[in-house]
Amino acid sequence: LNQSVERYHVCLGGTLAITADGYALPCPLLRNYIVADVKEVRLKRVLRKRRLKEFWRMTKDKIEPCSNCPFKYICHDCRALEYQATGDIEGLEYCIIDL
- Mean of pLDDT values over 46-66: 92
Q: Encode pLDDT of 62-84 as tens digits.
A: 888 889 999 888 888 899 999 99
Task: Identify the residue with better confidence: 40 or 77.
Answer: 40
- Residue 97: predicted pLDDT: 80
- Residue 87: predicted pLDDT: 95
Q: What percent of the chain has pLDDT over 70?
A: 94
List the beta bridge partners of residue 79. none
- Residue 38: predicted pLDDT: 97
Q: What is the DSSP string of 53-73?
A: HHHHT--GGGSTTGGG-TTTT
Q: Strands 23-25, 36-37: parallel, antiparallel or unpaired by DSSP?
A: antiparallel
pTM for the model stands at 0.84
- Residue 86: predicted pLDDT: 95
State residue 25 phi and psi, 5-degree precision: -125, 155
- Residue 55: predicted pLDDT: 94
Among residues 36, 74, 75, the alpha carbon closest in space to that of 55 is found at 36
Instruction: Give the separation between CA 53 and CA 64, rounded to whole angstroms.
Output: 20
Instruction: Give the separation between CA 97 and CA 99, rounded to whole angstroms.
Output: 6
